[in-house]
Amino acid sequence: MAGMACATYLKERGCEVTLFDKGRGPGGRMSTRRIAQDGREFRFDHGAQYFSVSDEEFARQMKAWEGAGVVARWPHDKPDAWVGTPGMNAPLKHMAQALDISFATRIVGMHKQGTAYTLCSEAGALPQTFDSIAVAVPAEQATTLLGTIHFDMARQAVGVSSSPCWTLMCAFADKFSDAPESYRSDGAIAWAARNSAKPDRDAAECWVVQAGPEWSRQHLELEPQAVVPMLLEEFGKALRADLPEPLLATAHRWRFAFPSAGNAGCLWDSEKRLGACGDWLAGATVEDAWLSGRQLARTMLREG
C-alpha cells in the first residue's frame, strides 16, 4: 500500500517510476489468498481484515475507489470500516494497473555509483539504473536494504519491532448457524471473521482466524501443519463449539505483522535521494501506510 501510494502520486505528476515486489501479485499485508480444492476455489483475506478512514485525503481516495467498485463499507466492527471488493487486495490491483511493477522480484541489495542507483535481485543485478529510491517494505526488511547505504535510516528501522501473527484459514461445508460474523478477544485467538460476511464475497463458509501476539510469539517457529490443529482447537474453544471437520485448513505466519510504529511519517535524504515509507513510520494500519507513501512522494517532489 505504501509503495503503490507513493508511486501513484509520483507517476500522476510526471515521474517515471518502477516498482519491484517479492510477492506474486499486489497485496503485501493486504493479500487475498486463493486456494483451489476439489474443483472449488476458496478465498481468504489473510492479512488486514478491514481499514478505517480518518484522514480527509484518504476519505477522498476511498470515494474514488468506491466509484471504481474496488472498496465497500463493512460497518460490522466499526462504523467507518471499509474492505476491498471482491478481496482485500482489490484497491492495490486497481492501482497496479497504472504502474510498472515487476512481481516475484526480491531486492537483496542496492548500490550507488555517482548519482545512479543499481539494484540486485536474487537472480542478479538488474539492468536499469535509478536516480532515486523509495524503500517501502516492513522495518525489519528495510534494515537490511538501507544498511549498506544509509546508516542513520537503517538505525531508525532497527528501532522498530513488529509483533507476529499466525493466521489460520479454514473452510467448512456448511454455515455455522449460531456463530457471530466476527469474534475478538485478547486470548489465544485475537480475532476471527467469517470471510463470506464481507460484501461481494462468495458464499463458501470461509473463516480467517488470527492468533494473538503472545500465542504467535510462543509458537513462531513451528511448521504451519503443526499450527493448524492447535488453532482449530483454540478457535473451537473461542466459539464454544465443536467444530465440524474443515474442508480445508492452512496457516500463514506473518512474522512482521504489526509494527511498533514511529511518527516520522516517512524518511527522505535529498542528498542521497533515498527514502523510506510504510506503516512502521506512521502507525500500524492500512491508512497509515497510504499516508506514509503519499508523504514520501510529496517530500521527494518538494525537496528534489
Ligand X SMILES: Cc1cc2nc3c(=O)[nH]c(=O)nc-3n(C[C@H](O)[C@H](O)[C@H](O)COP(=O)(O)OP(=O)(O)OC[C@H]3O[C@@H](n4cnc5c(N)ncnc54)[C@H](O)[C@@H]3O)c2cc1C
Among 84, 138, 246, 265, binds ligand X (CB under 6 A): 138
| C-alpha span between 291 and 280 (Å, rounded) | 12
61 binds ligand X (CB under 6 A): no
Residue nearest to ligand X (CB): 28
| C-alpha span between 164 and 196 (Å, rounded) | 25
**Coil vs helix vs strand at 150:** coil
Nearest to 211 by CA among 225, 226, 192, 196: 192
Q: Looking at beta carbons only, is 42 or 256 nearer to ligand X?
A: 256
- Residue 101 Cβ, how far from ligand X at the closest point, in Å? 10
Among 17, 136, 189, 228, binds ligand X (CB under 6 A): 136
| Segment interacting with ligand X (CB under 6 A) among 17-25, 109-117, 178-186, 225-233 | 17-25
29 binds ligand X (CB under 6 A): yes
Cell (9 digits) for 182? 466476527
285 binds ligand X (CB under 6 A): yes
Name the DSSP letter for residue 235.
Answer: H
23 binds ligand X (CB under 6 A): yes
Q: Looking at beta carbons only, is 87 or 138 nearer to ligand X?
A: 138
| C-alpha span between 140 and 237 (Å, rounded) | 34
| C-alpha span between 303 and 298 (Å, rounded) | 8
Please give the distance of CA 290 from its chain centroid, rounded to a whole number.
11
299 binds ligand X (CB under 6 A): no
Cell (9 digits) for 109? 541489495
Contact set with ligand X (CB under 6 A): 1-3, 20-23, 28-30, 47-51, 106-107, 136-138, 141, 165, 167, 210, 254, 257, 278-279, 284-286, 289
